[in-house]
Structure 1
């Protein structure tokens, strides 16, 4: 589970994120940058591994009809925390720097997404 003192983005009534979430490393989608789609379904990320370039984005979607997911990453160079994602919700995260990252689910501990930024 993520550290209890982690800053978590707040949800708007429509399921979006407040602009303050940028402070915790979550970037909202803007045009012109490649975005890869990752689904959370059946207690797994799909695909389970992706390769990006610095600045590219990942859209993490909870495609499970009943389960809540909670994707997060704790790394010395880059961290984010989606908070609980209800079914149908989505969040876009930009990976700003090169490295190897493992995105985890705080609710389903076997869920892992490997992100390589080259």
Structure 2
């Protein structure tokens, strides 16, 4: 017997100069929605990897960006405005 699991959408909050959660274990095809939960701070989420790049641009408070993961591996989402903000993605 074989069961195909549906793709998952995970919400990640950007608030207080950190991502919540800070680590995610996902499968190819899953989607992440990055939500800027700060009232007065702009965030700029990006990934720079060998196999692909992602850049959400400047996210004003309350705005969100979406990323669907198509490549397996470990990737780090960083914030171009707050360099210590990091989210590690583990994609199977």
Deviation of the 1:97 alpha carbon: 1.1
d(CA) in 2 for partners of 1:117, 1:34: 12
Aligned positions, number: 87
Larger proportion of strand: 2
The runs of at least 4 consecutive aligned structure 1 residues that moved more than 2 Å come to none
Aligned-residue CA RMSD in angstroms? 0.9
- Verify: 1:40 aligned to 2:14, yes or no: yes
Q: What's 2:83 paired with?
A: 109
- So what's the TM-score if we normalise by structure 2? 0.91
- Verify: 1:86 aligned to 2:63, yes or no: no
Structure 2, unaligned stretches of length 5 or more? 1-5
Superimposed CA distance per residue, residues 46-92 of structure 1 (whole angstroms, 9 cap, x where no aligned partner): 00000100010100000001000000000011211000000000011
d(CA) in 2 for partners of 1:50, 1:95: 12
Q: Please give the secondary structure, in 1, of the residue aligned with 2:33.
A: strand
d(CA) in 2 for partners of 1:63, 1:78: 26
- Verify: 1:50 aligned to 2:24, yes or no: yes
Q: Please give the secondary structure, in 2, of the residue aligned with 1:51.
A: strand
Q: What's 1:28 paired with?
A: none
Deviation of the 1:34 alpha carbon: 1.1
Deviation of the 1:33 alpha carbon: 3.1
Deviation of the 1:109 alpha carbon: 0.3
